[in-house]
Amino acid sequence: GQNIDQPTEMTATEGAIVQINCTYQTSGFNGLFWYQQHAGEAPTFLSYNVLDGLEEKGRFSSFLSRSKGYSYLLLKELQMKDSASYLCAVLDSNYQLIWGAGTKLIIKP
Partner 1 sequence: IAGITQAPTSQILAAGRRMTLRCTQDMRHNAMYWYRQDLGLGLRLIHYSNTAGTTGKGEVPDGYSVSRANTDDFPLTLASAVPSQTSVYFCASSDSPQGGELFFGEGSRLTVL
The contact set with partner 1 (CB under 8 A) reads 4, 8, 30-31, 33, 35, 41-45, 48, 87, 89, 91, 95-102
CB count within 10 Å of CB 96 equals 13
**Residue 58 and residue 36 in contact, taking contact as beta carbons nearer than 8 Å:** no
- Exposed e or buried b for every residue in 69-83, given b needs 16+ CB within 10 A? bebbbebeebeeebb
Residue closer to partner 1 by CB (options 78, 103) is 103
Q: Supply the minimum distance, in Å, between the C-beta of residue 50 and partner 1.
A: 9
Cβ atoms of 102 and 85 closer than 8 Å = yes
User: Closest separation between CB of residue 45 and partner 1, Å?
Assistant: 5
42/109 with CB nearer partner 1? 42
Minimum distance of partner 1 from residue 57's CB (angstroms): 13
Of the pair 78, 85, the CB lying nearest partner 1 is at: 85
Question: Within 10 A of 9 (CB to CB), how many other CB atoms are there?
Answer: 10
- Give whichever of 6 and 78 is closer to partner 1, judged by the CB atom: 6
